[in-house]
Amino acid sequence: MASILRSSIPLRSSASSLFSVRAVSGTTASKQEAVSVPVIDSNPRPTSEIPGPRCYPLLGTLPIMLFDSTFDNKKIHKFWGKMIKEYGPVVRLITPGMPSLVALSNPEDCETVFRTTMDNPIRQGFLSLKKIRDEEVNGYFEKKSGLLPENGEEWWRVRSRVQTPMLKVKNISSYLTLMDDVTLEFLDRIAAMQAEYGEMPSTFQTELYKWALESVGLVALSRRLGCLDPNIRDDSEPMQLIHCANNIFEALNDTEISAGMWRFFPTASYRRLRANHQLFLQIADSNIQETEAILKNKTGKEDEELTLMETLLLTPGLSRKDVVTLILDMLFAGIDTTSHTIGFTLYLLARHPEVQSRVQEEVDKVIGDHQGPLTSSHLAKLSYLKAVLKESHRIFPLTIGNARTLEKDTVLGGYLIPKGWMAITLNMLIGWDESVFPRAKEFIPERWLRHKPLGPIHPYASLPFGTGTRMCIGRRIAEQELYTFLARALHRFTVDYKYEDMDVVSKLVFTPSQPLKFTFTERR
């Protein structure tokens, strides 16, 4: 909206400096004004007037980006923070070989982007992954590279058929008992490490990767993978999957946030991506075949529920390759994402013991002395725990934001942006903006509770799973994993952290900057 232009975002040099102050437990605070209704600007300004770095012939703004001291693809949020601070909530960047780009830090503009592209949400991303799958895997993917890199009709062909089985709560809740078993086993592993080392070892992030892969494997492959074996070898298949997933994300970060030279010759990062993707594919496909063999030998009892893989394989319009590609991406995307979220959330809880105590009060009330597995009814009652996760996503989101290619000329921030331009919604920076989130530097889960003590929250200000038809297909799986882990962990332990403040490092998804050397103290 032209009438609501913010000149800057109060962004400091690191995420940790924003959120190290004390959280509040009370519910009294001044109300924020109601979210405004977007108004159509009848006299928008041309794109030539959009502020941004100097644009050179042929090279666009690329020289400014490459020589800017903050342009580091491992700290990309700092570059975007500087751009917004210097140029305002609408910034123009032009890079050779890519669509012209406008970056946005106003939630009203974000809403406009998502609403005007909802029918055909095109995302210019994962292009290096698509190139590998289309050209360099011996025809395995048959030019159908899956939900992550595809767009248009091919993307919708698959998405329209998988979203009901993948996003239906009932389908995912059928795996809750098994997920709970994995979590309880992992908590015993935590207790053993605590007893041995007096705190979590510096490799605790890898332990979280094991928990995440074991959990998502239950849904994707309908069986345990053995990730939590304390004697698991580093060259075992599960550990190779974890290492490959880590390397794929890091290589994608280097290819996607770069000058794009990999498009013309195989750069080092492109070669690393190709090699790790090939090994991940080989191991994952072998495991998928094992699961298929097990499913074929099932008794076929009438009252036996179908697994997710069976449901997808029986879905009209989906080929086996479609299903295999989806499961491959579930495994690949399900390792780093949930484990990093757990790391960030435990850190915030450790830094804010009064919030942690309130979560513990809630889980004690909900779980109590319950001896059986967690149920969907238990998770439904954890309203404060869910608010904690929302606040963690606001403070430490996994990505800088979302991108969409505009389907038609669109007014954003008072400027007429032509069809074909790419719009990036900088939701990470919006989450840190005092004008959008009062007391943004504080960890206040209460802001998300139903009575909204800090005022209404714009629905497009924080989008950890995206929105619309391109919302993260694994959202229900991830949320169930996160709720289960945090409920069980805080029911059993109190978490502490005595080391440096946490920042973020970008490896396509943001990862904690410090070793997760938590202390877990038994409560009972």
pLDDT tier at 4, thresholds 50, 70, 90:
very low
Mean pLDDT for the stretch of residues 246-275: 93
Domain membership flag for residue 8: no
Domain membership flag for residue 211: yes
- How far is it, in rounded angstroms, from Cα 153 to Cα 230? 45
Q: What tens digit of pLDDT does each residue of 409-448 get?
A: 999 999 999 999 999 999 999 999 999 999 999 999 999 9
Please give the radius of gyration of the chain, using alpha carbons only, rounded to the nearest integer: 23
The pair of three-digit structure tokens given for residue 222, joined into one six-digit string? 């309908």
Give CA 81 to chain center in angstroms.
20
Residue 40 has pLDDT above 80, yes or no: no
Query: Which letter does DSSP use for residue 97 in this model?
Result: T
- How far is it, in rounded angstroms, from Cα 407 to Cα 425? 16
Domain membership flag for residue 5: no
Residue 304 has pLDDT above 90, yes or no: no
What pLDDT sits at residue 524?
76
Residue 314 has pLDDT above 70, yes or no: yes
What pLDDT sits at residue 98?
87
The pair of three-digit structure tokens given for residue 463, joined into one six-digit string? 């989008």
What pLDDT sits at residue 14?
36
Phi/psi-derived region of residue 265, left when phi > 0, alpha when psi is between -120 and 50, beta in every other case: beta
Domain that holds residue 123: 15-297+304-522
The pair of three-digit structure tokens given for residue 245, joined into one six-digit string? 């997933």
Domain membership flag for residue 7: no
Give the number of other Cβ atoms within 10 Å of residue 197's Cβ. Answer: 13
pLDDT tier at 37, thresholds 50, 70, 90:
very low
DSSP 206-233: HHHHHHHHHHHHHHHHSS---TT-TT--
Q: What tens digit of pLDDT does each residue of 461-518 get?
A: 999 999 999 999 999 999 999 999 999 999 999 999 999 999 999 999 999 999 999 9
Domain membership flag for residue 186: yes
Residue 300 has pLDDT above 80, yes or no: no
Domain membership flag for residue 482: yes
Domain membership flag for residue 258: yes
Q: What percent of the chain has pLDDT over 90?
A: 84
With CA atoms as reference, report the closest residue to 19 among 463, 349, 511, 453: 349
Domain membership flag for residue 1: no
With CA atoms as reference, report the closest residue to 487 among 384, 394, 338: 384
CATH number of the CATH domain containing 483: 1.10.630.10
**Pairing status of strand 101-104 against strand 90-93:** antiparallel
What pLDDT sits at residue 13?
33
Residue 174 has pLDDT above 70, yes or no: yes
Residues ≥6 apart with Cβ < 8 Å to 276? 243, 244, 247, 248, 251
Domain count, the chain: 1
